[in-house]
Amino acid sequence: MSGVRVSVGTRKGAFVLTSDGKRERWDVNGPHFGGWEIYHLKGSPADPNRLYASQSSGWFGQVIQRSNDGGKTWEPVGNQFVYDGVPGTHQWYDGTPRPWEFKRVWHLEPSLTDPDTVYAGVEDAALFRTIDGGQKWQELPSLRDIKGHLWQPGAGGMCLHTIMLDPGNPKRIFIAISAAGVFGTDDAGKTWRPMNRGLKSQYELPDPDAEVGHCVHRIAMHPSRPGVLFMQKHWDVMRTDDAGESWQEVSGNLPTDFGFPIDVHAHEPDTIYVVPIKSDSEHYPPDGKLRVYRSRTGGHEWEALTKGLPQSHCYLNVLRDAMAVDALDPCGVYVGTTGGQVYASADAGNTWAPIVRDLPAVLSVEVQTLP
Amino acid sequence: MIRVVLPAHLRTLAGIGGEVTLDVGGQVTQRSVLDALEARYPMLRGTIRDQVTQQRRAFVRVFACEQDLSHEPPDAPLPDAVATGAEPLLIVGAMAGG
């Protein structure tokens, strides 16, 4: 019987949760790298036992770990992230120019076809790639040519947090940066274009529909329909049907359209999930109720999913990389919270149960569906 | 033989059980000791000092013989007691918390 592996990054280490296809009983393995921040770990679609993890610490900096046995054992690989050439400057919070400075890896996106090729999204925002299993990392520098001097950090830092590889076109990549926006390439990273037309940030930017500067929190796609992207922006849930050329708001009847993660059902390209959060200054669910919202219509019409989720006195957050789906039938949905819970639904969100309740604050959740 | 004591997180990262002993050719300085340490344990590159600038990371401290050597030039000779192995060089994660 097939199974699932849920890789969880937390403020104080990584955990690997495994179950069979029923997803009722779970084995919890960890902490790995105890005491270190694990912003993200993710398995290779081309080799399920190959995992990469971003391990970092305010004291000791950035480490990249690689596993060849599904997360049981790990080895450190290359951790040198050097911006290409003279890195130049971006905007600082006070509007002054500030030199680019590497801080950490937020997101690792393994290639869809080659287990040794991985993309890394970093803070200060840039995209790196390895083609040798993580030993050496090289920047794809032309991304920062797209008005990079105007990019400015959000409160969480100027991070490149989302990397989406088009399964139908190996040269097409979408990335998202907080707070710069969405950018896309059709030539494997040689040239990039901003893809923010239709975004409106009237409370965040002096020019609400600026070409760059939007605080995009997360974007998602269904692999069968890579021209349709969904976005959770700082405020607003958005959708594009033309591969990022233009965006339309689909927040509809959500109780609030602020939030961080967004994801797509594995088998229904128009079924999407978000976790509404009260506001940008109150990072917890409205009314003290943790509700995942599901739209079966690609946006506009949303239903609250509450069964098994805390519906009183709940004041945690779900961060941008802390939602994932598995590819079983019915589709499984997973969310990790800053309160240390990982909730799982084995029925596409209808009912939920915690896999674990007391981990450190969860930074990321990824799922592999195993043969 | 130079003795080096690392903080627990770096011992775990490098798979080291206790003190590290290193042969250091030439003058014994912070730079020559760290060069030898990183040559033996490449996974420590970047964790104590920046890989490009070679500057000590902000929250890492270097102690020996009850002195804070963190702000000494990297090519300054370390105390004789460290150079002879009588005393260890301590790499320390700075205090933080509240």
User: What is the C-alpha to C-alpha distance for residues A255 and A271, in angstroms, rounded to an integer?
Assistant: 18
Instruction: State how far the Cα of A92 lies from the Cα of A279, in Å rounded to an integer.
Output: 24
**Residue A253 CB burial class (10 angstroms; 0-12, 13-18, ≥19):** exposed
C-alpha span between A290 and B48 (Å, rounded): 41
Q: What phi and psi, each to the nearest 5 degrees, are found at residue B82?
A: -75, -45
Domain count, chain A: 1
A305 phi and psi, to 5 degrees? -110, 115
Domain for residue A350, yes or no? Answer: no
d(CA A286, CA A275): 10
Question: Is A169 among the domain residues?
Answer: yes
* Among A31, A4, A7, CA closest to A18: A4
Residue A301 has a pLDDT of: 98
Interface predicted TM-score of the whole assembly (ipTM), two decimals: 0.94
A78: tokens are: 């290359």
The pLDDT, as a whole number, for residue A368 is: 98
Q: Contact B10/A58, CB-based, under 8 Å?
A: no
The answer to whether A163 touches A121, Cβ cutoff 8 Å, is: yes
Distance from CA of B39 to the nearest CA of A (A): 14
Q: Which residue in B has a C-alpha nearest to residue A74's C-alpha?
A: B13
How many angstroms separate the CA atoms of A196 and A194, rounded?
6
pLDDT confidence bin for A82, thresholds 50/70/90:
very high
The whole-angstrom distance between B59's CA and the closest CA on chain A is 5
Q: Which domains, from first to last, does chain B contain? A: 2-93 (3.10.20.30)
Among the partner-chain residues A58, A60, A62, the one whose CB lies closest to the CB of B10 is A60
Residues in contact with B80: Cβ distance below 8 Å, sequence separation at least 6, in sequence order = B86
In a domain, A340, yes or no: no
Distance, in angstroms, between B65 CA and closest chain A CA? 23
Judge contact between B19 and B25, C-beta under 8 A: no
Rg for chain A (alpha carbons), in Å?
19
Of B45, B51, B94, nearest to A59 by CB-CB distance is B94
pLDDT at A206: 86
Stretch A111-119: mean pLDDT, rounded?
A: 98
Assigned domain for A20 exists: no
- For residue A305, give Cα distances in angstroms to A285, A350, A352, B79: 13, 6, 9, 65
Each residue's pLDDT tens digit, A19-42: 999 999 999 999 999 999 999 999
In-domain check, residue A344 = no
Which pLDDT score is estimated for B96? 73
Domain membership of residue A55 (yes or no) is yes
Q: Which amino acid is at A97?
A: P
- Return the CATH number at A136: 2.130.10.10
Assess contact for B83 and B34: CB atoms under 8 A: no
Residue of A305, A28, A274, A54 whose CA lies nearest to A160: A54
Question: Each residue's pLDDT tens digit in chain B (98 positions)?
Answer: 999 999 999 999 999 999 999 999 899 999 999 999 999 999 999 999 999 999 999 999 999 999 999 999 999 999 999 999 999 999 999 987 65
A2 located within any domain:
no
Distant-in-sequence, close-in-space partners of A360: CB < 8 Å, separation ≥ 6? A10, A11, A12, A13, A340
Nearest neighbour of A59 by CB, restricted to B51, B52, B57? B57
Domain presence at residue A11: no
Q: How far apart are CA A27 and CA A323, in angstroms?
A: 19
Q: Which residues of A touch B7 (CB under 8 A)?
A: 59-60
- Domain residue limits at A241: 31-331
Tens of pLDDT, residues A186-241:
999 999 999 999 999 988 888 899 999 999 999 999 999 999 999 999 999 999 99
Would you say A365 and A6 are in contact if contact means Cβ atoms under 8 Å apart? yes
Give the residue among A81, A94, A84, A128 at the shortest CA–CA distance from A109.
A128
